[in-house]
Structure 1
Amino acid sequence: MPPSKPSTRDTILDAAETVVARDGSGRLTIDAVAAEAAVSKGGVLYHFPNKVALLQGMVTRMMAEIGDEIAASEVRAKATGEPVLALVFQDMFNRTDAHDSVSMALLAASAEHPELLDPARQFLSSTFQRLAEETPDPIAAQILLLAMDGLKLSVLLGFNHIPDHQLQPIRDRLLSKAREIYS
């Protein structure tokens, strides 16, 4: 059976991600997305009546993807006996640069519309709280989750206080500490 064709909504969101990854959030316009998606401007506006709605759609989809990745980590942890937190860390660290450019664009857009990140804040807060509470040491887990967030944000914002050659050893140490919580 051939793979199913993405919905027009997903095609539009893919195009929006491409525009922000390639050109930056300042160049995200309905016209640019329509051109990239090869749909009419009216087609974009049917699904997303304005740029803010488009950005909200991008945030919602990103949170759904992260939720799916965390759920997959939990399933793998149960199947393999690995600590859930370690697998979540692994998956979050392995998110691609394309995701990072979209994350940066959404972060930039949130300066103008801070409410755009409310769903992300709520989702990550409740998910990380749940993950921490399911460990033998919830406080240590929260510290590690904060460290992961800080590392990801530092890289995302281009802070260069951590040399590139130290990123992997830091990630490895965080993964090791996440495993230690369970022992």
Structure 2
Amino acid sequence: MSARDALLDAYQATLLEEGQRATTLSVVAARAGVSKGGLLYHFASKEALAEGLIARLEVLAQEDLVAMREAQGGPSRYYVRTSVWTGGDFDLVFVAVAQLAQESHAGAQEAMRRTRAQWLELIRAEVGEEATARAILLLGDGLYFDAALGGAAEPSDGLSITPAELMPIVDRLLAAADG
């Protein structure tokens, strides 16, 4: 792993655990095991770290879009099926960038909008109808939010629903859009 990736990992982890305000350059450098000067060599500012994290999200989002486009069963089923918290690289960077967006970071907000718009475009291309495409996107968004609240991929509170339980609804939406 490169020093740059280690610094981004430390920045991301600190954002997730402590929030944006507690994520200082000194904290990130210490967590990555480098001097503050070493951090500044790779990232001249806290803003540069944010930009690096946003770039990481965009790379992982593009990989996800390729998988979504090529998914057996189509983009809609893929989107809902994968809208669960796994704790994987994409989840971690997505939530970290979302935290930046919630703190009014314009670049993070734009990256989040762009990612959702790209997911919606793939669903829309499959469905061919705007309202149905948005409904499917919102099913996945709600499923992800629900899983994130519980912190687990498998909900157990009796109020949650699994992707498998939502697939018949997705299938009905897809069938109605074809009709």
Instruction: Bin the TM-score by the shorter chain.
Output: 0.7 to 0.9
Give the whole-Å Cα distance in 2 for the aligned partners of 1:157 and 1:91: 16
Within the candidate set 2, 5, 9, 1:10 is matched to 5
1:97–1:125: structure 2 CA closer, same or farther, 3 Å change rule?
same
Q: Residue 89 in 1 paired to residue 70 in 2?
A: no
Give the whole-Å Cα distance in 2 for the aligned partners of 1:181 and 1:128: 15
Q: Match of 1:145? A: 137
TM-score (normalizing by structure 1) = 0.73
Give the whole-Å Cα distance in 2 for the aligned partners of 1:114 and 1:157: 23
Q: State the SS of the aligned residue for 1:165.
A: coil
Q: State the SS of the aligned residue for 1:26.
A: coil
Root-mean-square deviation (Å): 3.0
Q: Which runs of 5 or more structure 2 residues have no equivalent in the other structure?
A: none
Within the candidate set 152, 163, 166, 2:159 is matched to 166
1:111–1:92: structure 2 CA closer, same or farther, 3 Å change rule?
closer
Contact 1:132–1:141 (Cα < 8 Å) also in 2: yes
TM-score (normalizing by structure 2) = 0.74
Q: Which runs of 5 or more structure 1 residues have no equivalent in the other structure?
A: 1-5
Post-superposition offset of 1:181:
3.8
Give the whole-Å Cα distance in 2 for the aligned partners of 1:67 and 1:165: 34
Q: State the SS of the aligned residue for 1:39.
A: coil
1:46–1:83: structure 2 CA closer, same or farther, 3 Å change rule?
same
The AA in structure 1 aligned to 2:131 is: I
Contact 1:144–1:174 (Cα < 8 Å) also in 2: no
Give the whole-Å Cα distance in 2 for the aligned partners of 1:166 and 1:70: 30
Within the candidate set 129, 134, 155, 2:121 is matched to 129
How much identity, in percent, do the aligned residues show? 25
Q: Residue 109 in 1 paired to residue 100 in 2?
A: yes
The AA in structure 1 aligned to 2:161 is: Q
Q: State the SS of the aligned residue for 1:134.
A: helix
